[in-house]
Structure 1
Amino acid sequence: MNSREKVLETAIERGRKRCLMIKSYHFYLLSIRRACEKVFDSCEVCVFGSVLTGKFTLESDVDLLIKVPNPPKSLQERAKVEAKIEELAGLPDYHPFKFHIVDEEGFKWYVEKLKRVM
């Protein structure tokens, strides 16, 4: 197998694993919630988006709405917080989870806009 074939095989395998994570996202929620509780003083973690309706694709994310008292302000701070959550939750680098970290006002906006949040 040449290097191009190896790269392709690796990409296909990562895609397969990512797809399995999307289909079984609920198995990861507890570890993500516990990681969020370690990073923030208090938090609420909710799922929204295509995984709730069953209309997800291989390219979909599992959208997580994370309500905290003081969300990170800068992109750099947000990236550090998200990396810490990923590390504490033991998520692989190909994971499908998208973190939407908001305060109470942002949470209300999402809930009103989406109408379906779990």
Structure 2
Amino acid sequence: MSFPREDIAIEIQTWKLRELLKWRDYLEILVEAVKTVFGEGAEVYVFGSAVEGKLTVDSDVDIAIVLEEPPRTSREKSRLLSRLWRVMEEKGVPWWYPFEIHLLTKEELSL
């Protein structure tokens, strides 16, 4: 038995949206991982369509991590973000989860 392509596409989009709506379930894990990787002084904010209740199947979940001292190089930033994702995955956040992570300073946050 075969399914029309539209049915498969609808099933995939429905699954993606269901997974996307789990962002609150993963938020506590994200905060714990941020504290582990960046220290207790790091602050975490969710912004964008997730908090506005306007998620679509094509959305991501925007996360601002506010740091006292931002990474100095792109290599350091990549290393820290890789470590953050490793810690989150170990605690149950899927590696593919669409968190869009932004590392900011307090000055950048206030702009």
* TM-score tier after normalising by the smaller chain length: 0.7 to 0.9
Q: What's the TM-score, normalizing by structure 2?
A: 0.76
Q: Which residue of 2 aligns with 1:94?
A: 96
How many residue pairs match? The answer is 98
Q: Which amino acid aligns with 1:38?
A: T
Q: Please say if 1:33 is aligned against 2:35.
A: no
- CA-based RMSD: 2.2
Q: Which residue of 2 aligns with 1:104?
A: 106
Residues 60 and 67 of structure 1, relative CA distance in 2, 3 Å threshold: same
Structure 1 segments unaligned to the other structure (5+ residues): 1-7, 110-118
Q: Distance in 1 between matches of 2:44 and 2:58?
A: 22
SS at match of 2:62: strand
Structure 2 segments unaligned to the other structure (5+ residues): 1-7
Q: Please say if 1:22 is aligned against 2:24.
A: no
Contact 1:21 1:96 in 2 (8 A): no
Q: Distance in 2 between matches of 1:30 and 1:108?
A: 24
* Structure 1 residue 20, shift from structure 2 partner: 2.7
Superposed CA offset, 1:34-86 (max 9, x none): 11101112211010001112222212110011111111132222222111111
Q: Distance in 2 between matches of 1:51 and 1:108?
A: 20
Q: Which residue of 2 aligns with 1:58?
A: 57
Q: Distance in 2 between matches of 1:79 and 1:58?
A: 27
Q: Distance in 2 between matches of 1:38 and 1:21?
A: 25
Q: Which residue of 2 aligns with 1:72?
A: 71
